[in-house]
Amino acid sequence: MGNLSIVTIVIIVANVLISYKGFNDYNFFDTYKFHVGGIKRGEKFRMFSSGFLHVDTQHLLFNMLTLYFFADIVIQDLGTLSFLFVYIGSLLLGSLLSLYFHKDEYHYSAVGASGAVTGILYSAILLRPEMSLYMFFVPIPIPAYVFGIGYLLYSIYGMKNKVGNIGHDAHFGGAIGGYLITLFLATWLFKTNLLMIGLLAIPIVLLFVLKRMNKI
């Protein structure tokens, strides 16, 4: 069993155990979920602990499967410690962006590893933009960079129109984390994948332009 398997399994096991504790113990869930009011009271740990809680088994399974499929790429290209840096950094940036967008909504709450997992996904896309991804119900492969840009544009749409009970801002924050941290760790990408770096930056810039214009 390689380092990747150990690290991935530890993260998955932590998510499963903590999530199932939350499924069966509402007080535990309520204490450690992302909650704007709680964070403003000084409970900053919620910005980290919420990333290991999930709403239900389906939510947990989707996040852990995504992590399983893309963790390998990041570990192979960056190493185990850098993988953890991307995972934790993306989790926290996802929480920070959620707090930024919902800072005036005292009762806003959220849970899930989506920010961290989306950061790993975006790190993998940045490292291997030539790879193809398959989506549910779409039988043809989609270039990774096309998926990345499209996903962030959809997240902007979701944030603007409050689509579904989904933390689009946490996903977007996680993607920004994966993007920025990977570029910090893998500076060679500026020589090998400069065009892709620029393309993947477009929806990130667009988000903050729209926010500044009060369109979101």
Tally of domains within the chain: 1
CA-to-CA distance for 94 and 92, rounded, in angstroms? 5
- Structure tokens, 146: 């096309």
Residue 135: what pLDDT? 65
Residue 159, pLDDT score: 79
Q: pTM score, two decimals?
A: 0.91
Query: Are 83 and 74 in contact, with CB atoms under 8 Å apart?
Result: yes
Q: Residue 132's beta-bridge partner residues?
A: 143
- pLDDT-derived band at 52, boundaries 50, 70, 90: very high
The tens digit of pLDDT for each residue in 65-88 reads 989 989 999 999 999 999 999 999
Structure tokens at 7: 């690290």
- Of the listed ranges 29-33, 116-120, 178-182, 211-215, the least confidently predicted one is 211-215
Q: Note the pLDDT tens digit of each residue in 89-130.
A: 999 999 999 999 899 999 999 999 999 999 999 999 999 988
- What confidence tens digit (pLDDT) does each residue in 5-24 have? 799 999 999 999 999 999 99
The one-letter code for the residue type at 182 is T
Nearest to 169 by CA among 154, 183, 148: 154
Report the distance separating Cα 25 and Cα 19, nearest Å. 10
Contacts of 137 (CB under 8 A, 6+ apart): none
Domain range for 123: 3-212
**Looking at residue 116, which CATH number applies to its domain?**
1.20.1540.10
Asked whether the beta carbons of 113 and 63 are under 8 A apart, the reply is yes
CA 45 to chain centre: 18
- Whether the pLDDT of residue 215 is over 90: the answer is no
- Provide the Cα torsion 83, 4, 172, 134; round to 10°: 140
